[in-house]
Amino acid sequence: MVPAERGRAAAGNAPLETDPIIQPGDVLHCDVGITVARLNTDTQHLAYVLKPGETDAPAGLKRALANANAMQDMTMEEIRPGRTGNEILQAVLALMKTRGVDGTLYSHPIGLHGHGAGPLIGLWDRQEGVPGRGDATVIPSMWFSIELQATTPVPEWGNQPVRMAQEEDAIVGADGKVRWALKRQDKLFLVRPNR
């Protein structure tokens, strides 16, 4: 894990160094995939390093994670057999706009490869749709990695925009219903420094 975000109070306006030291007040981002029996996972989770005297993350960071969870919910609502990745992308972007969530959606199938065959639901730099791969349709019994990020101003950090990147695996069942493969992260992991 490396620091993904640092509050203005902790680091001023300076960008993170190329080899940063993890400090209290940092948001940590971990992106990992595991292969077992030739099947792949693709997961991103977040943690917060508590400052002295803190017992929980600031409310603004928890709200930022809640916005990423809301994007996950929107994506899960819109994935269903017969829809293209581009149709799902446009539907989720419309929901985000009406619900006041800022972010980007870049979900993909998963299976024998980390980024498997099937419809792409956006790319981080292609929020208008992805010709070709985005035109493929969702089919029953397909696995997806619901990958996205929500950007939220954090009041405790002077309204600094903070990206909460999330990635969890989901299953489109044979019946067409979508569910999490296991569960998603809905709370920041808390790191208590030894001091």
Condensed to tens digits (0 to 9), the pLDDT of residues 61-88 reads: 999 999 999 999 999 999 999 999 999 9
Q: Where are the beta strands (DSSP E) in the chain?
A: 2-6, 26-32, 35-36, 39-40, 43-49, 103-105, 108-110, 142-154, 160-172, 178-180, 189-191
Residues 181/45/54/6 CA torsion (nearest 10 deg): -160
Q: 11-15, 24-28, 55-59, 190-194: lowest mean pLDDT where? A: 11-15
pLDDT of residue 178: 96
CATH topology of domain 32-191: Creatine Amidinohydrolase (3.90.230)
- Write out pLDDT tens, residues 85-97: 999 999 999 999 9
133 Cβ partners below 8 Å, 6+ apart? 85, 119, 120
Residue 8 has pLDDT above 70, yes or no: no
Instruction: Delimit the domains of the chain by residue range.
Output: 32-191
pLDDT, greater one: 165 or 3: 165
Q: What average pLDDT score do residues 13-21 get?
A: 68
> For 53, which DSSP code?
T
